[in-house]
Amino acid sequence: MEWTLAILFGVSVLLLIISMVKNQQTAKKEHDEIDMVHMSVMKEINDLQGTIRNMELDIEVVAKEAGVQLSADEKLFMREILDLYKRKYSIESIAEKKQVSVSEIEQLLTPHLATRDERR
C-alpha cells in the first residue's frame, strides 16, 4: 500500500513537471508568434508611411508644376470642403457649415464638379 502511494505520488510529480515544461513550450511558441505578427505589422506600417510620404511629395510636385500656391490654412479648408462634398453634403450645407457664401463653395468645387459629372 505504501509503495503504491509512493509510486502514484512520483507519477503525479512527474506528470506535473511534464505539464509545466509543455506549458512553457506552448507559451514560448505563442510569444514567438506574437513577435512575428508584431514585426509584420510594423513592416506594413513602415511601408504605408513610405507610401504616404511619396504621395505627399508627388502632390507637392504637381502643385508646384501647376503653379498653385496655397497656404496651409487654405489647403486645410479646401480639403475639408472636398471631404464634405464627397460625403454627399449639399453645397448649401457645406457653405453653412463653413460660414462662407454658396457661390464661393461652388467656385472652389468647380473643378471637382466637372470631373464628377463626366464620369456619369
Read off the pLDDT of residues 72-88 as tens digits, 9 standing for 90 and up. 888 888 889 988 998 98
Q: Are residues 64 and 76 in the same domain?
A: no
Q: Are residues 61 and 8 in the same domain?
A: yes
Q: Are residues 3 and 25 in the same domain?
A: yes
Q: Provide the whole-model pTM.
A: 0.53
What are the tens digits of pLDDT across the range 33-50?
999 999 999 999 999 999
- How many residues can be counted in the chain? 120
Place of cell 453634403: 89
Q: Give the model's confidence band at 119: pLDDT under 50 very low, under 70 low, under 90 confident, else very high.
A: low
Q: Assess contact for 91 and 103: CB atoms under 8 A.
A: no
Q: Are residues 36 and 15 in the same domain?
A: yes
Q: What is the 3-state secondary structure (H, E, C) of 60-118?
A: HHHHHHHCCCCCHHHHHHHHHHHHHHHCCCCHHHHHHHHCCCHHHHHHHHHHHHHHHHH
Q: Assess contact for 102 and 95: CB atoms under 8 A.
A: yes
Q: Are residues 39 and 49 in the same domain?
A: yes
Cα separation, 40 vs 26, whole angstroms: 21
What's the total number of domains in the chain? Answer: 2
